[in-house]
Amino acid sequence: MNSTSTGIDLLEKNLPVILRKRRIKNVGVLCHPSSATRQFRHLVSIVEKHSTIAALFGPQHGIHGETQDNMIEWQDTRDEKGRNVFSLYGERRKPTQDSLKNVELMIVDLFDVGARYYTFIYTMAYMLEVCGELDIPVLICDRPNPLGGDFIEGNILDLNFKSFVGMYELPVCHGMTIAELAKFFCSKMKNPPELLISKMSKWKRKMHFPETKLPWTLPSPNMPNYEASVFYPGGCLLEATSLSEGRGTTRPFELIGAPFLNWDEIEKEYLSICKKLKLQPAIFHRQGFLPTFHKFSGEVCKGALQSCSNPKKFFPLRHTVILLWIFRKLYGSQWKWKEPPYEYEFKKLPIDILAGGTTLRETVDQQKPLSELFDSWKVDEAKFKKIRKEFLIYT
């Protein structure tokens, strides 16, 4: 099978033509460490060959992924060539009109991992919004959704819980590429920009990341591999708890734990629930760990390294909610939901803005039947499958 080519792979050849036809000299770039071709040529080096880079913009973790932990801000700076580098995860999340004053075309290349919480897609959304106001066209370099283009899971966001980890009415797993999301976001805007897309070639919706034959580059410091992205849509919920999602280790989101957990009794409950609900269970390999930062830093955690035999039949959000339900049943008040602030939300609980409502937390805390929660998700999953049809690019 031939390998997938990403949007930037094809842009490398097509950019001179685009710039010449539109008589563009000054370009803005929104990028991060993964904004690179298959041969690891970064977007910045490609763009500067053919135009003047008027401004650089970076999302959470910075253009080169310098901020290791989550929710660590970084500030405006200049690169080694003296060009302005504007932070969109610090004093502001939205670019200022002044920062875009010399930009004739904005090029965006961000590696999204297919979950509603991943902040890069909202950095893109804010950029689309401001470029629309200024009549600046935006060119999106498309990339694969690591979980494929067919997988939808979870409830659609209740806009009463809108935040920087959920700005639009998406389910937790949306099954869209970042360019498809851009089309969806633009449909919600009063003044959307002209949207250009450097499409992928040889990518099919059924493909998970390993099938693309593309190299994995870290879109963020705690997304080291495809396996982490498989568990992230559920594992991110642990950020809203006192339990460890594996930050401070080499296997975040695959490793989870806490000092007081007993995985024998957890697994017994878990397998029973998965069987009852007819869900493919994950495999738990007992693995202690000692986080070097974040929760339980320097403290031994009784953990598990999670894996699944067939990611295409695995439901990571349901998986983690089952675990949270079990953790509450077995360990009661030994763990808790974290209090705000979280991702620039200062009033609502982190779990509620991640979950897009209060129902998930209430189901766990009140030990309500998980089947009721999951059945409600099926309604939203079917609804979103219809909503997104007009924005899809690939078959």
Asked if residue 130 and residue 242 are part of one domain, the reply reads no
Asked if residue 303 and residue 207 are part of one domain, the reply reads no
Residue 254: which of 221, 276, 287 has the closest Cα? 287
CATH number reported for the structural domain that contains residue 43 in this entry: 3.40.50.12170
Which are the contacts of 168, defined by CB distance < 8 A and separation ≥ 6? 125, 157, 184, 185, 188
Asked if residue 347 and residue 263 are part of one domain, the reply reads yes
Asked if residue 353 and residue 321 are part of one domain, the reply reads yes
- Of the pLDDT bands very low, low, confident and very high (cuts 50, 70, 90), residue 356 is very high
Q: What is the mean pLDDT of residues 288-311?
A: 96
Predicted confidence (pLDDT) at residue 68 exceeds the cutoff of 90: no
Residue type, 159: L
Asked if residue 170 and residue 140 are part of one domain, the reply reads yes
Whole-number Å distance between alpha carbons of 327 and 266: 8
Asked if residue 273 and residue 208 are part of one domain, the reply reads no
Q: What is the pLDDT of residues 161-212, one digit of tens each?
A: 999 999 999 999 999 999 999 999 999 999 999 999 999 999 999 999 999 9
* Residue 1 counted as domain residue: no
Asked if residue 293 and residue 188 are part of one domain, the reply reads no
Whether residue 129 contacts residue 138, with contact meaning beta carbons closer than 8 Å, is answered with no
Asked if residue 115 and residue 164 are part of one domain, the reply reads yes
Which residues are paired to 107 by β-bridges? 29, 139
* Residue 220 counted as domain residue: no
User: What pLDDT score does 126 carry?
Assistant: 98
* Residue 221 counted as domain residue: no
Whether residue 371 contacts residue 378, with contact meaning beta carbons closer than 8 Å, is answered with no
What's the domain range around 331? 226-375
CATH number reported for the structural domain that contains residue 359 in this entry: 3.90.1150.140
Q: What is the pLDDT of residues 103-137, one digit of tens each?
A: 999 999 999 999 999 999 999 999 999 999 999 99
* Residue 380 counted as domain residue: no
Asked if residue 352 and residue 247 are part of one domain, the reply reads yes
Which residues are paired to 28 by β-bridges? 55, 106
Asked if residue 107 and residue 209 are part of one domain, the reply reads yes
Which are the contacts of 239, defined by CB distance < 8 A and separation ≥ 6? 70, 245, 338, 342, 350, 354
Asked if residue 162 and residue 242 are part of one domain, the reply reads no
Total domains in the fold of the chain? 2
- Of the pLDDT bands very low, low, confident and very high (cuts 50, 70, 90), residue 76 is confident
* Residue 290 counted as domain residue: yes
Predicted confidence (pLDDT) at residue 1 exceeds the cutoff of 90: no
Residue 15, SS3 per DSSP = helix
* Residue 219 counted as domain residue: no
Which residues are paired to 36 by β-bridges? 42
Q: What is the mean pLDDT of residues 243-266?
A: 97
Q: What is the pLDDT of residues 10-63, one digit of tens each?
A: 999 999 999 999 999 999 999 999 999 999 999 999 999 999 999 999 999 988
Asked if residue 258 and residue 142 are part of one domain, the reply reads no
User: What pLDDT score does 91 carry?
Assistant: 87
Residue type, 306: Q
Cis ω before 316 (30° cut-off from 0): no
Per-residue CA distances from 300 to 97, 116, 241, 305, 308 (Å): 48, 31, 18, 15, 25
* Residue 364 counted as domain residue: yes
